[in-house]
A = this chain, B = another copy of it.
Amino acid sequence: MSITIHIYDDNAALRQSLEQLLDLSGEFIITGSFDQFIAPAAMPDIILMDIDMPGISGIDAVKKIRSFNKKVPIIMLTVFDDNTHILEAICAGASGYLLKKSISEKLVPSIKEMIAEGATLSPSVAKMIIQSMQKTPVKEQYHFSSREKEILEWLCRGNSYKMIAAGLNISFETVRTHIKHIYEKLQVRSATEAVSKAINEKLI
């Protein structure tokens, strides 16, 4: 029961050393090795994908693959420790992340982990992802009153002024006043702007 693998990397030297590493362990069969993205005829068990390829980037390649196959595990390979690309790749549907500097010791364990557990993340990537998930504590710069926070939450749940007034047992006009103050503090001029800013900046 060998594991079939496709490799996408524009760097021929790295591709060779990947192939050698996988060969050495004896548990893998490389069924494809490409210097750019090519839609495969048959899906392998695992895909290794360089994030930074000329032409179609690794991230775009992941999107293309995910458009017709949601399951095949894709491990991204990168020299970067750069967060935007990593988060983009994860959101596009990559299932794991391996920094190139740690390939020699971690490639085979990572692939096994991926098959056993469904994902693999190097700790530094895990840190990045955890940070991006945590509510940014810095953003307490708007100093809303508790009433304003409350009303902003109601607004973000799609309630009209009327519904908020009824729900909080205050008058319609009072709701309007609070919302005016919220707009001033958020520097916005409409409910949709306020809602999108509140959700995206994790104020709620």
A: number of interface residues (CB 8 Å)? 45
| Chain B residues whose C-beta falls within 8 Å of the C-beta of A135 in the assembled complex | 91
The answer to whether A124 touches B133, judged by C-beta atoms less than 8 angstroms apart, is no
A93 interface residue (CB < 8 Å to B): yes
A199 interface residue (CB < 8 Å to B): yes
| Chain B binder among A17-25, A115-123, A141-149, A166-174 | A115-123
A127 interface residue (CB < 8 Å to B): yes
Copies in the complex: 2
The answer to whether B133 touches A129, judged by C-beta atoms less than 8 angstroms apart, is yes
Given contacts A192-B156, A200-B199, contact A124 B129 (CB under 8 A): no
The answer to whether B90 touches A192, judged by C-beta atoms less than 8 angstroms apart, is no
The answer to whether A117 touches B121, judged by C-beta atoms less than 8 angstroms apart, is no
A154-165 interface bits toward B, Cβ cutoff 8 Å, 1 = contact, 0 = none: 011111100000
The answer to whether A121 touches B126, judged by C-beta atoms less than 8 angstroms apart, is yes
The answer to whether B134 touches A193, judged by C-beta atoms less than 8 angstroms apart, is no
The answer to whether A133 touches B196, judged by C-beta atoms less than 8 angstroms apart, is no
Given contacts A91-B133, A123-B120, A199-B199, contact A158 B113 (CB under 8 A): no
A2 interface residue (CB < 8 Å to B): no
21 contacts between A and B (CB under 8 A): A66-B137, A90-B130, A90-B134, A91-B133, A94-B130, A95-B127, A113-B123, A117-B122, A118-B123, A118-B127, A119-B123, A119-B130, A121-B123, A121-B126, A129-B130, A129-B133, A156-B196, A157-B196, A191-B192, A195-B195, A199-B200
Q: Measuring CB to CB, which residues of chain A are less than 8 angstroms from any residue of chain B?
A: 66, 70, 87, 90-95, 113-114, 116-124, 126-127, 129-130, 133-135, 137, 155-160, 188, 190-197, 199-200
